[in-house]
Amino acid sequence: MRRRRRGRRHTRLWRLLFLAVLGWLGWSQVVEPPLTPPREATRVFQVILNAQLQPHRDNDGDSFHIAHEGGVHEFRLYFADCPEKRAYAQNADRLADQGRYFGGLSQAQTVAVGQEAAAFTRQLLTTQPFTVHTKWHRVYSSARCYAFVLFQDGEDLSAKLVRAGLARIHTGGTTLPDGRSPAQYQHQLRELEAAAKAAGRGAWGRLR
């Protein structure tokens, strides 16, 4: 009798242990930990899938908040710099520099382009699937990290903005996720910019 009771107890314990393991595995598949950026920038890109644009008052053409796996991260595009979407005392010099780049736009015209760029980026990031590629390289000492945003047509957001005449070729750069060098990519952007300028798209048509 004692042996039978011991055998039943052992069987019950094994069943409970088995069920506990199954439960843990099921929970681990459903609940994913939030994406945590490394403390230091990496040498290879980390690809963020199924990301979504997070509404935020500071989102603009080249900087935006992305929600992913329960966390929110702020990214800044490589290579492209969109005009500021609003003017205040601290960014007057930057707006003036951006206006000069596009042929001498006034501050009001430059801000209007910045607002157009913000709407352009918001439209793309809320209507088309995209992936974020980042090395978690921080923009100066801010919380923002540089990134590429790629769409299903193979083109990234920086190129789309330059093509639309809504960004200057500026700010930080790096080797692309597909292996192209910064020089090769800048050459492509210059061609897109020349076409946008000739067609008077975006900022390039404000003085016509």
Residues of the chain with pLDDT under 70: 1-35
Q: Is the pTM of this model over 0.95?
A: no
Distances in Å between the alpha carbon of 40 and those of 33, 47, 134, 147, 188? 20, 16, 12, 15, 30
One-letter amino acid for residue 66 of the chain: I
pLDDT of residue 48: 95
pLDDT of residue 36: 72
Label the pairing between strands 145-151 and 52-54: unpaired
Detail the DSSP E strand segments found in 160-208. 168-169
pLDDT of residue 11: 53
pLDDT of residue 108: 96
pLDDT of residue 20: 46
pLDDT of residue 37: 73
- CA gap 100, 86 in Å, rounded: 17
